[in-house]
Structure 1
Amino acid sequence: MTVLDTRTLGRATLARQLLLDRADLSTLGAVAHLGGLQAQEPQEPFVGLWSRIRAFAPGELSDLLVERRVVRTHLMRRTVHLVTADDALAWRSRHDAMLRQKVLGVYRAELNGVDLGELAAAGRETLADGEPRTMAELTRAVADRWPDTPPRALGEMLIAALVPMAQVPPRGLWRTKGGVRNLPLATWLGREIAPLSPAGSDPVGQTLVRRYLAAFGPAATADLRAWSGVAGLPAAVAAVRGELVAFRDERGRELLDLPDAPRPDPDTPAPVRFLPAFDNAILGYQDRGRIIDDAHRGLSVAGERVVLVDGRVAATWTVADDTVTVTPLRPFSRAERTAVTEEGSALSAFLSDQDSERVRIAPR
């Protein structure tokens, strides 16, 4: 079986994640291809898409949210993701059990004795008037039934697990501040969520496998689980295995992939790319070594924005006063410093509506 080294896997990830060449895709097409973008920080997806789409216009993403073709919702890993409306409706039921267990993993003691079916019914009853609510407003409406349960536990279980929710605009719009207000996903989108398939069949799971590999492959089943948070996908993997090709990484793990997906030559030049906080190009794997050194792995879960140089995390970045500041994690060559400065200037212009191209490279 062919062994793919770390550099080869890194180039494959860049190609799948639209980071090797900016794509001539629509904003909706890019969100769909990527299987969504992690989006608990509402402005971060705009940078993620700017780094991936040629001539990306942030107003396009805002329009998609307002038009209800893209939605912010709890999905993979119980984190807020920006996904297409079609994917949210098709995938949500398959994530329900995982979402419930993730919340219980934090609030099991607090929710002891709470009938979750009754809690879900109370939440739906409160939201039946079609008015978006904050978590605090929703929990106040139901808390009298569970006076001894901490409101936060009730709210997290309702909003992240029991009642599929959309975070409605202005939350997530370009350069717009707005708190989180929730409405049932089916109400917001005007369409019902697809139910779970009968026991013994898992078409949604099979779709998740194919879509994950298209955007992240080649990858191990442990990587698939790390991205989705869903544990019960072995049967789906087995069902589609005949469609796939297999490799091994340098650790000996089996990697699966779509046969015709891009696997570029490891010496393919990789341009500098600025990634937003919590980007799935890093978080979408159990083994993140293809793109980030183990010594820097903590950056990916700490919300640090990072810079890819030659396909690997080589710096962090921040922005303040219309200036992008890059802090290297290793020494840059003269050519790397020039490339980072050029891409940082372009990012500064994007974030400032062309008012600034200032970029600063700080000392290590």
Structure 2
Amino acid sequence: MASDDTLQGIHHVSAVTGRASYNVQFYTQTLGLRLVAKTVNQDDTSSYHLFYADTHGTPGTDLTFFDIARARDQHDGTGLITGTSLRVRGEAALQAWAEHLDAVGVRRTPIHQRAGRATITLYDAEGQTLHLVDDAPDVDRVPDTTPWTQSPVDSDYAIQGLGPVEITVDADAPTRQVLTDVLGLAPARDYVVEASDSDVDLPHPPDTATVFSIGDGGAAAELHLIERSDAGRGWLGKGGVHHVALRTPNEDTIADWHERITSAGLNVSPIIDRHYFTSIYVREPGGILIEIATDTGAPFPVEEADAGKVTLPPALEPDRASIEDKLTPIEAASEPVA
């Protein structure tokens, strides 16, 4: 088992949307996730920060979005997080998801093999790349979660949590060194993405990708490293992913990680209290922003989110009136959207 000072899996993934109302409709009604926090970007309170997760917002289930209406479109290339996975249980679940996505008109690939797991790749209307992966072979190595069942998605097929995250760089050697020597990840195996047999292409099928295990590894604890030396540098925008966060247990272990990363000569942020967790940020040589976040923090305000209330951390509560005045109301939806 992983020790307390070992990173223990994916904590959350934070992406960018320019359409907050659509985003809420798609991720709650089409994908069946629970909106566990409707809050603001703590670094820019004029925009929303939306958190989707399981019933309770369990670490390892949070897919979050910064709402930046003025953001440019994503330009694909290197130096980016190029795929986020969501875990489902069993190939029957994938078959059900294929039917569900087709029924609501979501663009998707056929079921294919990715890192040895049956997978469907799908895209939201802003081009966000999501992989639905079968985590059944790794069921003994995924964290306990409580999938949200009060959604249009059948509870037997509900999303269990986050899966592997893909990162793409132009030269993988410097990134490999940071992942292994600094962050303690272990290269587990290489794989080739199975070619698509439809007119919906797989995103950037590499000749070879490398799986790096986080802690004990498994479907909830992997980074997949792709090298694309023939591609130009990309830039982040709508439909892209801002950062990936890795799990550490508590404030003591994150302090240890801050010291370790600093000692390695990398530029790491101060330790930041995000209310729901405490975290640090470091950008590895390939350009990927990696956060380390604690499993400890205030519980997510799920009842307030259900009621449509904007939740603010205590430090921002005195400014509620001025903050809410700058936010565009989010329209609710009662049925799936593409």
Q: TM-score under structure 1 normalisation?
A: 0.29
Larger Rg, first or second structure (1 or 2): 1
Higher strand share: 2
Which structure is richer in relative contact order (CA contacts within 8 A, separation 6 or more)?
A: 2
Q: TM-score under structure 2 normalisation?
A: 0.31
